[in-house]
Amino acid sequence: MTKRLGEPPAEGDLDRAERFNKIQMQGIQLWQLIHTVQNAYENVPFYRKKFDEAGVSPKDCRALEHITRFPFTTKDDLRDNYPLGMFAVPRAELRRIHASSGTTGQPTLSGYTKKDLDTWALLMARSIRAAGGRPGMTVHVAYGYGLFTGGLGAHYGAERLGCTVIPASGGMTGRQVRLIRDLRPEVIMVTPSYMLALLDECDRQGFDARQGSLRVGMFGAEPWTEEMRAEIEERTGLHAVDIYGLSEVMGPGVAQECVETKDGLTIWEDYFYPEIIDPVSGEVLPDGERGELVLTALGREAMPLIRYRTRDLTRLLPPTARPACRRMDRITGRSDDMIVLRGVNVFPTQIEELLLRVPGLAAHFQLVLGKRGRQDELTVHVEARPDADQARRAAAASELAAAVLSTIGVRVAVRVSGPGAVERSAGKMRRVIDERGAP
Ligand code: DLL
């Protein structure tokens, strides 16, 4: 499909950092890094101990490449220091706390000072503008509001840009579609999987989204593929762009795909310093190589995070739309989402990519891990498109199984069900269901 690219923002509307050259960017990054490392060492006992144990101190950070002298921070560190141990400011200076629940139930918290919230709104406004949003437009926010950073992050960014916000949050799908029909937003911000649920609801209401008002969709918070982009753009006529972030380092708005290039996520490097490491050895890899993304939040007051291991797998790419901001490729998955099936690594995104190429299959799917005898077995549970008859469904099941075998190299079972059979989620979709029980 040929890509219909959108208009970039006018040069004069960009933030200064979006126009920086590499030297200017590196200057800002170093200045911010030095202050962040100092803030962490002086105000967070966890970091003081960790740096002391590693034999490093803020004096060792005089150039950007010195960052590799400092130890990584992990999700376990955040859990171990729950609730307030990672914060560098007295509690009274915190203006907000978000939480991410994770899979283990032990939450990790993320705290913000007034300045941190201001930076976040600035970066979200920048992201919405990079996606094609403009002051005066209406933005429908269907990311969840609450402890999750998606809703409030999007909300304050859209207000900062000068947009009208519809704080729909997740759920009540029928009402959301009515609001979209009545209020005619140009921009929608939502997880890609919930966008599909909204589109199915549009079909149920007999509303053709292509004839509607939406021009831009900002999709993130979970992995998705180029095939999903094509599917959503085809059904809506909007520009579907990727947005990335995580609550630990801020929330949405760490990186944003620019609508004029649609070639991966531009990292807002004036506030985040990215590295890619080998997830096993921890060795830093050169730009272009795939590995785990590590982020340092630059200039964050309440919760300085040094070299945070995101567990997200991607690679760094040279700048395109903004001269001094490198890009990151789509996230292929998280290291903890990876299924190892009879020795072969399988990511849900690989399955999504393949199934969307099979005629008759819809984008709603889950991967169910079970056991047959002593062997693990993976079943792809996927819905048929409403117009696919029994014969097409059966053919689609074999086509998908064959495609998985030839591209990923592993045998899977495929169950094709009727429309509506796969669980819907109003936020992040749970792609993998493990039914193997305790070993
Ligand atoms: O998901 C923040 C967010 C909200 C991002 C809305 C974008 C839009 P957490 O709940 O802390 O924060 O989850 C962060 O979600 O480490 C990735 O694994 C995944 N993720 C976020 N954006 C993307 C994306 C929010 N564009 C975790 N593509 C991250 C793939 C993503 N995965």
Instruction: Tell me the pLDDT tens digit for each residue of 128-163.
Output: 999 999 999 999 999 999 999 999 999 999 999 999
CA of 142 to the centre of ligand 1 (A): 14
CA of 222 to the centre of ligand 1 (A): 5
Question: Which atom of ligand 1 lies at the shortest distance from residue 220's CA?
Answer: 26
- Candidates 331, 338, 347, 349: which one to mutate for ligand 1, based on the most atoms within 8 Å of Cβ? 331
Residues with CB under 6 A from ligand 1: 100, 143, 148-150, 220-223, 242-247, 251-252, 310, 312, 331, 334
CA of 225 to the centre of ligand 1 (A): 14
CA of 62 to the centre of ligand 1 (A): 32
CA of 54 to the centre of ligand 1 (A): 30
Cα 214 to the chain's mean position, in Å? 21
Using alpha carbons only, give the angle 198, 142, 162 rounded to the nearest 5 degrees: 125
Q: Which residues pair with 434 in a beta bridge?
A: 369
Rounded Cα–Cα distance for residues 265 and 427 (Å) = 21
- Candidates 124, 127, 246, 303: which one to mutate for ligand 1, based on the most atoms within 8 Å of Cβ? 246
What is the token pair recorded at 251?
């929330």
Rounded Cα–Cα distance for residues 132 and 9 (Å) = 7
Q: Is-contact 312 220, C-beta < 8 A? A: no
CA of 55 to the centre of ligand 1 (A): 33
pLDDT-based confidence at residue 439 (cuts at 50, 70, 90)? low
Kindly state the percentage of the chain with pLDDT values over 70: 97
Q: What is the DSSP string of 365-379?
A: EEEEEEEETTEEEEE
3-state helix, strand, coil in the chain (%, to 5): 35, 25, 40
CA of 391 to the centre of ligand 1 (A): 38
Closest CA to 70 of 356, 282, 379, 345: 282
Question: Which atom of ligand 1 lies at the shortest distance from residue 248's CA?
Answer: 11
Count Cα atoms within 13 angstroms, Cβ side, for 296: 26
Q: Is the pLDDT of residue 359 over 70?
A: yes
Can you tell me the mean pLDDT for 251-276? 98
Question: Which atom of ligand 1 lies at the shortest distance from residue 148's CA?
Answer: 10
Nearest CA to ligand 1 atom 14: 246
Rounded Cα–Cα distance for residues 213 and 47 (Å) = 49
How do beta strands 308-314 and 316-317 pair?
A: unpaired
Instruction: Tell me the pLDDT tens digit for each residue of 328-341.
Output: 999 998 887 899 99
Helix or strand (DSSP H, E) at 285: strand 284-285
Could you tell me the pTM of the whole model? 0.97
Instruction: Tell me the pLDDT tens digit for each residue of 19-37.
Output: 999 999 999 999 999 999 9
Rounded Cα–Cα distance for residues 70 and 66 (Å) = 8
What is the token pair recorded at 206?
């007999």
- With b meaning 16 or more CB within 10 Å and e meaning fewer, what string describes 195-207? bbbbbbbbeeeeb
Looking at residue 73, what DSSP letter applies?
A: B
Q: Which residues pair with 369 in a beta bridge?
A: 378, 434
DSSP 3-state assignment of 321? coil
Q: Where in 40-194 does DSSP place strands (E)?
A: 96-100, 108-112, 138-141, 164-166, 187-190
Instruction: Tell me the pLDDT tens digit for each residue of 387-416.
Output: 999 999 999 999 999 999 999 999 999 999
What is the token pair recorded at 373?
């005898």
C-alpha torsion 18→20→26→28, nearest 10: -70
What is the token pair recorded at 299?
């200039």
What is the structure's pLDDT at 437? 85
Instruction: Tell me the pLDDT tens digit for each residue of 80-127.
Output: 999 999 999 999 999 999 998 765 678 899 999 999 999 999 999 999
Rounded Cα–Cα distance for residues 167 and 149 (Å) = 13
